[in-house]
Amino acid sequence: MSEASLDQAAKKTLLRKIPHGVFICGVAEGEEVNGFTASWVTQGSFEPPLVVMAVRADSTSNGMIQRTGRFALNVLAADQKDLAAVFFKPQKAVGGRFDAAPFQLGALGLPILDDALGAVECELVGQVAAGDHTVFVGAVKNAVLHRDAAALELSATGWQYGG
Ligand SMILES: Cc1cc2nc3c(=O)[nH]c(=O)nc-3n(C[C@H](O)[C@H](O)[C@H](O)COP(=O)(O)O)c2cc1C
């Protein structure tokens, strides 16, 4: 089938049925840290433990991940929609979103939010750059659990990212 025959409305409706969580991806380069809200995230392997995340090709963090080969995924609690909102808004300077969210650097030097349920730090093992997002595959090298509770899900926020 040619691309022109793709039923755009059906594609959008169906792709928006894919369930997603809401995470804060943390990155670091030199003295700089940055973070952004990410929902296109899934697990990709048990052994070794891999995660898959798609990141806008034109975002600040995409370049930081490419250059450093690292990213962290912070898992938010179900009641942390406000925190997720901070991390997709424009910021005055790179890393400015962390003014509202205290963090520590993990074993791989990546920002782990004090208030998140926890985070995994990953080393980049592969990527696919074929669209407006780059699909990054990361091997989980460090996991920090602050507390166990229900996680924030995209369906509970009323936001859409997909289609
Ligand atoms: C609900 C929601 C989910 C999002 N999921 C992603 C995602 O999976 N990948 C991505 O690159 N951007 C995603 N974004 C957009 C980024 O959070 C946004 O582009 C951010 O400004 C990028 O920050 P940066 O340029 O500082 O890296 C999402 C935004 C919203 C509102």
CATH at residue 150: 2.30.110.10
pLDDT at 3: 67
Which positions of the chain have pLDDT values less than 70? 1-3
In a domain, 114, yes or no: yes
Residue 4's pLDDT is: 80
Q: Is 82 exposed, middle or buried (0-12, 13-18, 19+ CB in 10 A)?
A: exposed
82 falls within a domain: yes
- Residue 65 maps to a domain: yes
pLDDT at 2: 61
Q: Is residue 131 part of a domain?
A: no
Q: Which of 88, 94, 110 to mutate to test the pocket of ligand 1 (most atoms within 8 A of CB)?
A: 88
Examine residue 107 and state whether it is found in any structural domain, yes or no: yes
CA 88 / ligand 1 centre spacing (Å) = 5
Residue 100 is assigned to a structural domain of this protein = yes
Q: With respect to residue 138, please indicate whether it lies within any of the assigned structural domains.
A: no
Is-cis flag, bond preceding 48, omega within 30? Answer: yes
Q: How many helices (H) and strands (E) does the chain have?
A: 3, 9
Answer yes or no: is 127 within a domain: no
Number of domains into which the chain is organized: 1
Domain that residue 113 falls in: 16-38+60-122+143-155
Contact indicator for 54, 40 with CB cutoff of 8 Å = yes
24 contacts 38 by C-beta, under 8 angstroms: yes
Mutation test of ligand 1: which of 16, 20, 32, 37 has the most ligand atoms closer than 8 Å to its C-beta? Answer: 37
What pLDDT is attached to residue 115?
98
